[in-house]
Amino acid sequence: MKARALILFFVFGLFFGPTVAFASEVNEAALAADPVAEKRLQALSAELRCLVCQNQTIADSNAELAVDLRREIRGMIAAGKSDKEIIDFMVVRYGDFVLYRPPVKAITLLLWGGPVALMLLGLFALIRYLRRRTTRIEAEDQPLTAAEASRADALLKEIDQK
């Protein structure tokens, strides 16, 4: 069983090892070819969200879509498009979600105000709960009225007689 696992490990290394090395060689070659364009690519990639990973920028992601988006951005940079034109293209194609920091507008208001609204709602619920709990405790600590005390005594005597 161990020999089989070892063979599979080497087979996967044989097939997938060169692709990782090839990908890094392609990136290094592109960086060496035009370092200014690569710096622009890195800056733009840091502003755009990976649509697969969703919690990473496309600069940090190794997903196929992120690699394709970086390649497309590199092509647009080579075509002479400005950063604003590239970002506008991505927003038109994928929506505001592709931006790592979406703009504040009516459709994204929930993204910006949602966390604050949830926090305020939770604070309101906590204060309300604490106030109800203290009034309940205060109500339990009040002494019995004379009528309630005589009724309790009558019930206790009744129980004792049975």
Give me the sign of the Cα torsion angle 68, 72, 77, 78: positive
User: Do 147 and 87 share a domain, yes or no?
Assistant: no
98 lies in the same domain as 19:
yes
Q: Give φ, ψ of 48 to 5 degrees.
A: -110, 140
Q: Choose the final residue of a domain: 104, 119, 147.
A: 104
Residue 48 belongs to domain with CATH number: 1.10.8.640
The answer to whether residues 71 and 33 belong to one domain is yes
The answer to whether 83 and 37 have CB atoms below 8 angstroms apart is: no
Q: Share the mean pLDDT of the chain.
A: 80
**CA–CA distance, 160 with 162 (Å, rounded to integer):** 6
Given 104, 133, 148, the domain boundary residue is 104
The total number of structural domains that make up the chain:
2
pLDDT in tens, 139-152: 666 777 889 889 98
pTM: 0.52
Where in the sequence is the domain holding 54, given as residue range(s)? 2-104
Scan for tokens 């009225």, then name that residue.
Answer: 145
**Based on the domain organization, do 32 and 76 belong to the same domain?**
yes
Per-residue pLDDT of 68-106, as tens digits, reads: 989 899 889 988 899 999 999 999 998 888 888 878 788
